Structure 1
Amino acid sequence: MVGRPQQRSRDTRAKILAAARTAFAEDGFETTSAEAVAQRAGVSKATVFAHFGDKTGLLIAAKIDGLDTILADMRARAEAVGRHTPGKALAGVFLPLLTLYREDPEFARLFLVQSTLKDGPWTRQFLEVCAELEEVATLACTRAADAGALPGHPDPSLAAQGLLAFFYHAIVGHSIGTLADAAAQESFFTALVERWASASA
């Protein structure tokens, strides 16, 4: 009996998230209202806000589960970075996340404007993911440095900031239309990282 209200709450949250994912996919984040999500889920707008705080929290919650899988993939790629073709390997670490942000520009925008997000449980989860991204970048640079592939960058954590700067640049380039498609974005990012890595050798 004690667990039933909690189970109902979980079921309601799952219904709202399913409705939000469908609405965002069909109509886009900007044009989807909290009322529309509530109507799809069969709940009140107040219930949506009670579970997710605001529409941004709802977007984060709708996407955050998939990030765990992507980050695990990135971490495995980072662990495998070695001496051979370090630039290509370092760029390859970030390609799964570039794909996600390219396919979901609103979620990419959240990544670029973290400082404007309101505090809340979903925001904190998202910021934890962003911090983990820095850890993955540092891990990748550490593996490359340990293999002797980045002699010009003795501090892996500092090198990781350079790598992340290229990543931000590739996200922005796609969002403003200068990197029009997947091939353009990925080749641009990879070329930047390869040139940076080869210059350090």
Structure 2
Amino acid sequence: MVGKPQQRTRRTQQRILAAARDLFAETGYEATSVDAIAARAGVAKATVFAHFSDKASLLIAGKIQRLAALSGTMRQTIADGSTDHPARYLADVFRPWLVLYRGDPEFARLFLSQSTLNDGPWTRQFLDICATIEDNAARAVDRLRAEGRLRADLEPETVTQGILAFYYHMIVGHSVGALPDGRAQETLFDGLIATWMNGCRSTTAPA
């Protein structure tokens, strides 16, 4: 049973997170100060830092549930998705992540600058999920290989790194404005994956 002090702590944390989400949506991540978040939440600035080490942690904390859900969806797609068309299968594995980062450019930039993040519980959760994405990409390639849909002479790590390179390129491209919208991003991603898999696939497997 959760005691009253813990309940108050959770309520305070949720109030701070709600204030941060609202302000990030209203004025943007860069323009939002911790002072403004504290004022909107009705707490002292020190209270914000007691729960979240910095502003980046607030942005991460507001996304962590969705990230965890997407990670679960990714695993499900890898395990249960149809591999009849390997390129389409791999594109489906990554597409929800592209939608996430496309919908929040500030969060995409945070993802692309992971090495600059300060250590803390929210950061560690975020980095763990980022690592899981790469592990899951390897699992998807392993499944294709096990089903005879990849050339036997190829190293799975090479195939995996190629797919991840396209994935990161899509996030960077949209973040800097080179890919102006979702259609442009997904069309290019699908084309790159299809071309890559055409060279990687077994000659007996469908395209």
Which TM-score band applies after superposition, normalised by the shorter structure? over 0.9
Q: Distance in 1 between matches of 2:67 and 2:28?
A: 19
Report matched runs for 1:23-102 at 5 Å. Answer: 23-81=23-81, 83-102=83-102
Structure 1 alignment gaps of length 5 or more: none
**What is the RMSD of the two structures over their aligned residues, measured on CA atoms?**
1.7
Determine helix, strand or coil for the equivalent of 2:118.
coil
Q: Is the 8 A contact 1:34 1:45 kept in 2?
A: yes
AA matched with 2:63: K
Structure 2 alignment gaps of length 5 or more: 202-207
Q: Distance in 1 between matches of 2:122 and 2:145?
A: 35
Q: Distance in 1 between matches of 2:104 and 2:2?
A: 39
Following superposition, the deviation at residue 52 of structure 1 comes to: 0.4
Q: Is the 8 A contact 1:152 1:200 kept in 2?
A: no
Following superposition, the deviation at residue 97 of structure 1 comes to: 0.5
Determine helix, strand or coil for the equivalent of 1:65.
helix
Identity %: 54
1:185 aligns with 2:181: no
AA matched with 2:164: L
Following superposition, the deviation at residue 82 of structure 1 comes to: 5.0
Q: Normalising by structure 2, report the TM-score.
A: 0.91
Determine helix, strand or coil for the equivalent of 1:148.
coil
1:136 aligns with 2:132: no
Following superposition, the deviation at residue 159 of structure 1 comes to: 2.2
Following superposition, the deviation at residue 189 of structure 1 comes to: 0.7
AA matched with 1:49: F
Q: Is the 8 A contact 2:154 2:200 kept in 1?
A: no
Residues 172, 153 of structure 1: CA spacing in aligned structure 2 closer, same or farther, 3 A cutoff?
farther
Following superposition, the deviation at residue 190 of structure 1 comes to: 1.1
